[in-house]
Amino acid sequence: MNILRRNVLKGAGAAGAVSVAMAAGLLTPGAVFAAEWNKAVFDSKDLGGVMSAVGGAGAAAGDISVKAPDIAENGAVVPVEITSNIAGTESIIIIGEKNTLPMIAQFDLSNGAQGFVSTRIKMGTTANVRAVVKAGGKMYTAAKEVKVTIGGCGG
Amino acid sequence: MRKLSSLLCTLALIAGGPAAAAGINIEGLARTCNNCHGINGVSVGQSMPSIGGLSEAYLKQILMQWKSGERFSASMGRLVKGYSDEELAAIAGYYARLPWVPVAQNTDARRVAHGKDAVERCVTCHGDTGSEPDDDVTPKLNGQWAQYMELELMKYRDDAVKMTHKKMRTNARKLDEEGLKSAPEFFASQK
Amino acid sequence: MNPVNRRAFLKAIAAASSASVLTIPARAHAGVKARVVVIGGGFGGATAAKYIKLMDSAIDVTLIEANQTYTACPLSNEVISGHREIESLQTGYDKIARRGVNVVHDFVTAVDPLKKTVATQGGRKLSYDALIMAPGISFDYTAVAGYSEDAVTDMPHAYKAGEQTRILKWQLQAMADGGVFIISVPPKPFRCPPGPYERAAQVAHYCLHNGKARSKVLILDANDSFSKKGLFEQGWKALYPGMIEWVPGAGDGKVERVDVASRTCFTGLNEHQGDVVNLIPPHHAGQIAVRSGLANAQGWCEVTPMTMESTRHKDIYPIGDACIAGELPVYDMPKSAHMAMTQAKVAAGAIVAKLNGLPVPQPYYVNTCYSTLAPDWGISVVHIYRVENNQFVYVKTAGGISPLDAPPLQRKLEAEYCVGWFNNVMADAFA
Amino acid sequence: MAEPMKIRASMAGDSAEVKCLMNHPMETGLRKDAKTGAVVPAHHITNVTATVNGAKVLDAQWGGGISKNPYLAFKVKGAKKGDKVVVNWVDNTGDKNTAEAAIG
């Protein structure tokens, strides 16, 4: 079950995204974007609201690792790798706690996809990168602080 | 001479002097200047000026003008902003107490001869050979690097950069293209 | 000498000596001549040896360097582009020998930090009171699959100036118009942070003015940002439009594997075939520093900010490219000649003070680094470091890069100052 | 039309690792143009899906917080050499892209 789907009716633009995609002929039976894009959550500037929308942070878990640099020299490109060793991991959500728009991405995993995603995210300032994991219907979380150096000497 | 200066280095390291009273290791600080301006402020590079033996007032003024941004610099401003006013004053004092050493350099005899006329406006302040400036905020020019002086003149002639000293701006612009090269060569050739 | 200045000068000596007569002979009384050994005769090592001798001629200073002739890395990109002969970057050690430094051309095989001895290939065994460790860098040839030390003639790194520089130059000269010149940049930290990007400009300049204007420089970078990035990108665009492409690590720029025979670089998702491949392997502190137990897990030597003394072994001072200091990845001290020299001077001051039983002098760290994109287009970066609470602190209110919106005069001045800087650092270190 | 997406899939132990690199500006809608001062409208990928031999393994939603020219890697257990991996994305303007690769 898709976590964000619960909020789909609140997200006015979400249905729009799907219809645009359909109109573009993209949605074939094999590649349905089941998770309609949840505008309400992605456009929210309220970290607390985002956290509750994704199902709450849940318990802190040592079985989740958030790999990211201690110091990012370029806040526009911060490599993040999340591994969840919790059995039955269904979703991984990435949140930038101090980003203007905290919700960064949600990955729903199925058919053998492991609890692992690696991507690169934007961070405006020094903050936690938080991973929220849904596994077996329960929520878990872990975070790592990334220092973002702004300005810099360029040297 | 070399022995003397190395002895001075050692003694100053130990004894300190006025700068040490202010918590400044002036020998250590000045050593960082050597990278570009040479030991004892005697430069070996054509575009970098010698600074040892220039007057304290001149050095202090120019360092402070760079720090405030009042005077254009390509890189010195970025350096001196890292130091306190006291440190910059100590640097000025340190180099002012060193001897001025005119550097031997290749000059073109024809240019030097032409330069003698071209420097007509310069000598009223810098002295006939550049060795006896009119006041203590005017630098010596005798035996200074010719290329450095030419680059300085280019700064005074270019409206795109902000140079203090109106008189220099006016006079530098009065030089023709040949004068721009020969005036520096004249002073460079002086002992 | 100007008589006025001479008087002031002698007066200064008199003032200084009256206070110091009592302290100077402290070691002389003990009747022991202090010994300092310097490993490595690059900018850092040579400067340290010379300045220790300048500060206290009673100290016995031995500089151990394998090569008779040193080839400087700064400005070596101009050799590749044909703007400069490699001989102009070379120097011997005769002048610092004349200053009283005992110069030994040998290769250090072992350091015993406990017995405080150094052993060499030539069978020498030297003991030291203080050791300056300035071996520069060693390459990790196994980090990129398919590469090896044998491949350096096919895919030269040209990141130690000398024969490698020449090979890269010849390969560039042999490249046809329309060729692709690949520069592979290793993960930070590496020697000369702006080096690869200046090289790209110099290669493009050569191509543009030697009938190879359709050629391309492709920078495959393991990193997502680089030194003076904005200035370089602006310069590349203005001087060599369309000729230089930079692929960041985030854009799949990290070279993971190479095929030397076909001059192909494999990144995570792509392969790039070059006509010339300048592969700069990842590197770490010179082997001898690592084998002496001075390096951290990443292969660099950590130091005490006040003195440059190793945090691992007493009385050893790792300086220059071998050390790591300040906050990575942005505010660490760059591995440059200028930085190595100011580190050398701090270490020299600390050693002389210690051997004379004096307090640790206040250290001053400065870096200035010029890059030349074209004969009248220079840019620079300045770093000032202070030591506060025994930490390296980058002074953010000073330093920084040349302004982006600078007038042409500034670019020209900086190109000229680069040469003046080079002449002076060569003299300050080696003469 | 966006430039093609790069995709590579290879076996590592009993899992396939899939890496993709997409070409996209990923504008958040918050950034101001340095010259004009005008807000650059949001333009970013919103959905990404991946299938292995037609079976969906990944279904993602993205905001503008994913970096420009996005990189994505994931692992699929039970996949084997030669299986076909297809990755699709669509953005908030309806632009879309697809790429496929055989697991090597």
Residue A76 falls inside a structural domain: yes
Q: What does each C-alpha distance from C131 to A17, C143, C288, C325, D84 come to in angstroms?
A: 67, 30, 13, 18, 61
Residue A50 falls inside a structural domain: no
**D96–A24: do the CB atoms touch at under 8 Å?**
yes
pLDDT, average across residues A4-28: 43
Residue A49 falls inside a structural domain: no
Probe site for chain D from C257, C266, C269 (most D CB atoms < 10 A): C269
Probe site for chain C from A71, A120, A153 (most C CB atoms < 10 A): A153
Instruction: Give the rounded distance of the alpha carbon of B58 from its chain centre.
Output: 9
Q: What is the interface size between B and C, counted as CB pairs within 8 Å? A: 197
pLDDT tens for each residue of C380-401: 999 999 999 999 999 999 999 9
> Which of C250, C251, C268 minimises the CB distance to D19?
C268
Could you identify the residue written with the tokens 């690590």?
A: C249
Residue of C nearest to B96 (CA): C5
- Examine the domain organization and report whether B15 and B36 are in the same domain: yes
Probe site for chain A from D51, D67, D98 (most A CB atoms < 10 A): D67
- Examine the domain organization and report whether A32 and A104 are in the same domain: no
**A122–D77: do the CB atoms touch at under 8 Å?**
no
> Which of A4, A32, A109 minimises the CB distance to D58?
A109
Of residues C30 and C259, the one with the higher pLDDT is C259
Of residues C313 and A35, the one with the higher pLDDT is C313
Residue B102 falls inside a structural domain: no
**CATH number, position B63:** 1.10.760.10
Residue A153 falls inside a structural domain: no
Any A CB within 8 A of D56 CB = yes
The domain limits of chain D are: 6-102
Beta-sheet strands, E only, within chain A: 59-60, 64-67, 71-72, 78-84, 89-96, 103-109, 113-121, 127-135, 138-148
Would you say the CATH fold of C149-281 matches that of C26-139+284-362? yes
pLDDT tens for each residue of C360-385: 999 999 999 999 999 999 999 999 99
pLDDT, average across residues C300-315: 98
- Output the furthest CA–CA distance in chain D (Å, rounded): 52
Residue of D nearest to A15 (CA): D92
Interchain contact B/D (3 or more Cβ pairs less than 8 Å)? no
**A122–D49: do the CB atoms touch at under 8 Å?**
no
The Cα–Cα gap between A39 and A9 comes to 10
In C356-415, the residues whose Cβ lies within 8 Å of chain B are: 356, 358, 361-366, 368, 380, 382, 384, 386, 395, 397-400, 402, 407-410, 412-414
Neighbours of chain C (3+ CB pairs under 8 A): A, B, D
Residues in chain A with CB shorter than 8 Å from the CB of C193 are 155
Q: Are strands A71-72 and A138-148 parallel, antiparallel or unpaired?
A: parallel
pLDDT at B34 over 60: yes
Q: Which residues of C338-357 are buried (b: 16+ CB within 10 A; e: fewer)?
A: bbbbbbbbbbbbbbbbbbbe
pLDDT tens for each residue of B124-141: 999 999 999 999 999 999
Residue A74 falls inside a structural domain: yes
- Examine the domain organization and report whether A36 and A71 are in the same domain: no
**CATH number, position A64:** 2.60.40.2470
* B39, B69, B96 - which closes a domain: B96
Q: Minimal CA–CA distance to C249: which of B122, D69, A27, B178?
A: D69
Amino acid at B83: Y
| CA dihedral sign of residues A21, A23, A29, A34 | positive
**D96–A117: do the CB atoms touch at under 8 Å?**
no
- Examine the domain organization and report whether B6 and B52 are in the same domain: yes
Q: How confident is the model at residue A124 (pLDDT cuts 50, 70, 90)?
A: confident
Residue B104 falls inside a structural domain: no
**D71–C252: do the CB atoms touch at under 8 Å?**
yes
Tally of structural domains, chain B:
2
> Which of A33, A116, A121 minimises the CB distance to D67?
A121
- Examine the domain organization and report whether B114 and B91 are in the same domain: no
- Examine the domain organization and report whether B16 and B44 are in the same domain: yes
pLDDT of residue C9: 43
pLDDT tens for each residue of B42-94: 999 899 999 999 999 999 999 999 999 999 999 999 999 999 999 999 999 99
pLDDT at B118 over 70: yes
pLDDT at A145 over 80: yes
Contact by Cβ (8 Å): C346, B35: no
Q: Of A68-77, B95-104, B117-126, D64-73, where does mean pLDDT reach its minimum?
A: A68-77
Any C CB within 8 A of A74 CB = yes
Contact by Cβ (8 Å): C368, C421: yes
Any B CB within 8 A of C342 CB = yes
**d(CA A49, nearest CA chain D) in Å:** 16
* B64, B96, B128 - which closes a domain: B96
In A100-129, the residues whose Cβ lies within 8 Å of chain D are: 100-101, 103-114, 116-122
pLDDT at A13 over 70: no
pLDDT at C256 over 80: yes
Any C CB within 8 A of B22 CB = no
pLDDT at C24 over 50: no
* B51, B71, B96 - which closes a domain: B96
- Output the furthest CA–CA distance in chain C (Å, rounded): 72
Residues in chain D with CB shorter than 8 Å from the CB of C251 are 21, 69
Q: Of A69-73, B23-27, C266-270, D37-41, where does mean pLDDT reach its minimum?
A: A69-73
Residues in chain A with CB shorter than 8 Å from the CB of C369 are 155
What are the tokens at C76?
């070596």
pLDDT at B163 over 70: yes
The Cα–Cα gap between B148 and B125 comes to 19
Q: Of A18-22, B84-88, C102-106, C155-159, where does mean pLDDT reach its minimum?
A: A18-22
- Examine the domain organization and report whether A35 and A110 are in the same domain: no
Residue B103 falls inside a structural domain: no
Domain C26-139+284-362 has CATH 3.40.50.10860: no
**A71–C227: do the CB atoms touch at under 8 Å?**
no
* 2.60.40.10, 1.10.3720.10, 3.50.50.60, 3.40.50.300: CATH of D6-102: 2.60.40.10
Q: What does each C-alpha distance from A50 to A4, A104, A122, C85, C425 come to in angstroms?
A: 10, 10, 17, 63, 57
Q: Of B50-54, C3-7, C155-159, D42-46, where does mean pLDDT reach its minimum?
A: C3-7
Probe site for chain C from D3, D21, D26, D72 (most C CB atoms < 10 A): D21
Residue B180 falls inside a structural domain: yes
Tally of structural domains, chain A:
2
Q: What does each C-alpha distance from C59 to A142, B4, B34, C29 come to in angstroms?
A: 57, 17, 22, 14
Neighbours of chain D (3+ CB pairs under 8 A): A, C
Could you identify the residue written with the tokens 């950590």?
A: C302
pLDDT at C243 over 50: yes
Contact by Cβ (8 Å): B59, B51: yes
Residue B101 falls inside a structural domain: no
ipTM score assigned to the predicted complex: 0.80
Residue of A nearest to C332 (CA): A155
CATH topology of domain C149-281: FAD/NAD(P)-binding domain (3.50.50)
Residue B10 belongs to domain spanning: 2-96
- Examine the domain organization and report whether B12 and B90 are in the same domain: yes
Contact by Cβ (8 Å): B140, B130: yes
**d(CA C229, nearest CA chain A) in Å:** 7
pLDDT at A6 over 90: no
pLDDT at A22 over 50: no
Interchain contact C/A (3 or more Cβ pairs less than 8 Å)? yes
pLDDT at C127 over 80: yes
- Examine the domain organization and report whether A30 and A87 are in the same domain: no
User: Average model confidence (pLDDT) for chain C?
Assistant: 93
- Examine the domain organization and report whether B31 and B114 are in the same domain: no
Q: What is the interface size between A and C, counted as CB pairs within 8 Å? A: 50
How many CA atoms lie less than 13 Å away from B161 in the CB half-sphere?
25
- Examine the domain organization and report whether B43 and B12 are in the same domain: yes
The domain limits of chain C are: 26-139+284-362, 149-281
> Which of C224, C230, C383 minimises the CB distance to A155?
C383
**pLDDT tens for chain D, residues 1 to 104:** 456 899 999 999 999 999 999 999 999 999 888 888 899 999 999 999 999 999 999 999 999 999 999 999 999 999 999 999 999 999 999 999 999 999 99
**d(CA B124, nearest CA chain C) in Å:** 21
Residue A31 belongs to domain spanning: 1-43
Q: How confident is the model at residue A36 (pLDDT cuts 50, 70, 90)?
A: confident
pLDDT at B25 over 50: yes
pLDDT, average across residues C165-189: 97
The Cα–Cα gap between C35 and C42 comes to 20
